[in-house]
Amino acid sequence: MKKALISSVSVLALLTLAACGEDEQAAQAPAETAVEEAVNETQEAAEATRDAIAETAQDATDAASETAQDMADAATETAQDAAETATEMADDAAQAVTDAAESATETGTQMVEDAGEAVQQAAEDAGTMAGEAGDALGDAAGNLADTANEMAEGAGQALQNAAEGAGEALDGAAETAQNALAAVGLSGPLSGTRWASPDSDAAFVAFDAGTISGNGGCNTFTGSYETGEDGALTVGSLASTRMACEAEIMTAETAFLAAIGSASGYSVDGDTLMLTGADGATVLSLNRTAAN
C-alpha cells in the first residue's frame, strides 16, 4: 500500500513539474486541457492506489484467516492431545485404584483370618491356663481346708481342754472365795440373791458378798451386811437417795428400810425370805426374783 501511495505522489509531482517546466506547451495548450489531464491522471492514480490497497487488504485478510485457521487447527490438535493424555491418565489412575483396592481387600482378608486364628489360639490357651489354674486352686483350697479343719479340731480340743481347766479352776477359786467370805461372815446362802417386796412393784433387796442394796419403792439404797451361824444377820447403816415421791410410797419405803435395818436373823423357805427381829418375830417377808 505504501508503494502505491508513493507512486501516486510521484506521478503528481512529475505532472506538476512538467506543467511548470514546459512554458511553451503550457502557453500553447488551454488551461482546461492541462487540468483535465491532471484530473484524469489523478483519478487513474487513485484507482491504482485503491486497487493496491484492496489487494493488500485482501492479502492481509487471507494471511490472517490462514494464520487463525492454523492456530485453531493447532489449538484443536493440542486440546485433542491433552484430552487423550488426560483420558489415558484417568484410565491409569482408575486401574491403580482398582489394583490397590484388590490388594487391600486381599491383605485385609488375610489379616482378619490371621487375627481370628490368633484370637482362637489365645482363647484356647486361656482356657487351658484357666483349667490348670482352677485345678491348682482346687487342690490348694482342698489342702487349706484339710489343714484348717485339722487346726480347728486341734484348737477346739485345746479350747475345750482350756475351758474345762478354767472351769475347774474357777470352781475351785469360787469355792475358796466362798469359804473365805463365809469365814468372815461376808458370804452365805444370801450372797447373789435378789428378793422383791410383795407389797410394791419397785421395792426389792439384793445381797452380794458383804453388800446389800436395792430400792425402797422411791429411792435406791446400799449398805453392808454379815451372816453368821444359825441364820444370824447383821445389817449395817443404809444410805439412800433423797428423791421425793407420793406420801403413801414414802411411808411404805420408810417402813421397808426400817425393817431391813432392824433385822437380826433370816430364814429361807423355798422362794420366800423372812427377816426376823431380835425377838424372833418376822419384820419383813420377801419373794425371790432373778438376780441381775
pLDDT tens-digit series, residues 253-278? 999 999 999 999 999 999 999 999 99
- Specify if 148 maps to a domain: no
- Burial per residue of 150-186, b for 16 or more beta-carbon CB atoms within 10 angstroms, e otherwise: eeeeeeeeeeeeeeeeeeeeeeeeeeeebeebeeebb
- The distance from CA 245 to its chain's CA centroid, rounded to whole angstroms, is 65
User: By C-alpha distance, which of 209, 216, 263, 215 is closest to 236?
Assistant: 263
Last residue of a domain, one of 20, 55, 79: 79
Q: What SS3 state is found at 81? A: helix
More confident residue, 183 or 210: 210
The most confident of 105-119, 136-150, 180-194, 204-218, by mean pLDDT:
204-218
- 216 three-state secondary structure: coil
Name the residue with higher pLDDT: 118 or 139: 139
In a domain, 95, yes or no: no
Cα distances from 78 to residues 83, 84, 107, in angstroms, run 9, 10, 42
Cell numbers standing for residue 152: 480347728
End-to-end Cα separation, the chain, in angstroms: 153
Q: How many domains does the chain have?
A: 2
Q: Which residues contact 75 (CB under 8 A, 6 or more apart)?
A: none
Whether this prediction's pTM lies above 0.85 is answered by: no
Question: 173 versus 203: which is more confidently predicted?
Answer: 203
pLDDT for residue 2 is more than 60: no
**Is residue 272 within 8 Å of residue 288, measured between CB atoms?**
yes
User: Looking at the domain assignment, is residue 152 inside a domain?
Assistant: no
Domain boundary among 28, 56, 79: 79
Is residue 181 within 8 A of residue 191, CB to CB? The reply is yes
Domain encompassing residue 225: 185-289
In a domain, 213, yes or no: yes
Q: Which of 63, 79, 95 is the last residue of a domain?
A: 79
Does residue 174 lie within any of the structural domains? Answer: no
Percent of the chain with pLDDT over 70: 57
With contact defined as beta carbons under 8 Å apart, do 288 and 273 qualify? yes
Does residue 215 belong to any structural domain of this protein? yes
Tens of pLDDT, residue by residue over 92-129, are: 855 863 674 386 347 656 853 874 686 388 448 746 76
